[in-house]
Amino acid sequence: MINSHLVCPTPSLPRQSLMDNTYSALKKRVRETLLAEWSSLCQTPAYYLHPAALSLRPFMGLGKFVAGRIHQMRAGKSHLAADPTMMSPDTDTSCARCGLEPETFEHAILSCPSRQHSWPRLLHGVTDVGPEAPLWSSLPLLKRLATFIGVTSTGFPPTMFPPSTPPSSSQFSLSTPRVPPPGFSSFFRWPKFRVAGFSLLCLM
């Protein structure tokens, strides 16, 4: 037998709520410190206006092809005419579809008259594509943007669908199945989107 007075008493654990709050505070501080150091050591280019983050962007759950188009247009390094390239820095930046303005990301999505027939049906609720826009944290809005990009071929490589002959809306019908055009990722199918992992990304 062991004498009870020789046994060290077992310390009681802190309240669960206290441990949870402490963990959350430490996690927040670590993430903030990591992000600050990362941002100072690997500064983003001046043209990239979106804030740095430690997790993948929600739109990357839409599929490889459409996520690539969105990322390129957000970064200003896409197939839009107003996005300069190293290969052709002096090309005309005017929108090839309407010719009214430079074909920027904002123009292509929100202002181009040649695409306006698709706005009420596909872009309801999407009013801003800036860095702080609600679009970038809303899955329903991101799915609408992805649909709009597919229907209008916005940001597509010119060899897929020349701007002068965009695909018909029936080819991208949201009510009937279709075979994706050449170049689409096997992970991307219309009208349903593969968004596996979106919930996980939101929690990170």
* DSSP-assigned letters across all residues of 116-137: GGGHHHH-TT----STT-GGGG
Q: pLDDT tens across 136-167, in order?
A: 999 999 999 999 998 899 998 877 755 445 44
Identify the DSSP state of 167: P
Contacts of 109 (CB under 8 A, 6+ apart): 115, 123, 126, 129, 145, 148, 154
CA gap 81, 47 in Å, rounded = 16
User: In angstroms, how far is the first alpha carbon of the chain from the final one?
Assistant: 51
Describe the crossing of helices 64-75 and 139-152 by its angle, rounded to 10 degrees: 90
Average pLDDT over every residue of 112-131: 90
Among 7-11, 144-148, 161-165, 186-190, which is the least confidently predicted range?
A: 186-190
- 13 pLDDT higher than 70: yes
Phi–psi pair at 62, nearest 5 degrees: -80, -15
Phi, psi of 6 (to 5 degrees): -90, -10
Domain extent for 191? 58-84+92-203
Taking the C-alpha atoms of residue 12 and residue 1, their distance in angstroms, rounded to an integer, is 24
Determine, yes or no, domain membership for 166: yes
Q: Would you tell me how many other CB atoms lie within 10 Å of the CB of residue 179?
A: 9
User: pLDDT, tens digit, for every residue of 51-104?
Assistant: 888 888 889 888 889 999 999 999 888 889 898 765 566 678 899 888 899 999
Asked whether residue 137 is assigned to any structural domain, the reply reads: yes
Question: Which is higher by pLDDT, 194 or 40?
Answer: 40
- Nearest partner of 73 among 153, 190, 193, 188, judged by Cα: 153
In angstroms, the CA 190 to CA 22 distance is 45
Q: Does residue 47 sit within a domain?
A: no
Q: Across-strand partners of 140?
A: none
pLDDT of residue 108: 94
Structural domain count of the chain: 1
Mean pLDDT computed over every residue of the chain: 76
On whether the CB atoms of residues 115 and 87 are closer than 8 A, the answer is no
- Asked if the structure places residue 17 within a domain, the reply is no
Q: Is 199 within the bounds of a domain?
A: yes
Structural domain contains residue 31: no
- Residue 108 in domain: yes
H-helix segments, the chain: 16-41, 64-75, 105-106, 119-122, 139-152, 198-203
For residues 118 and 126, give the distance between their C-alpha atoms in angstroms, rounded to a whole number.
Answer: 12
67 part of a folded domain? yes
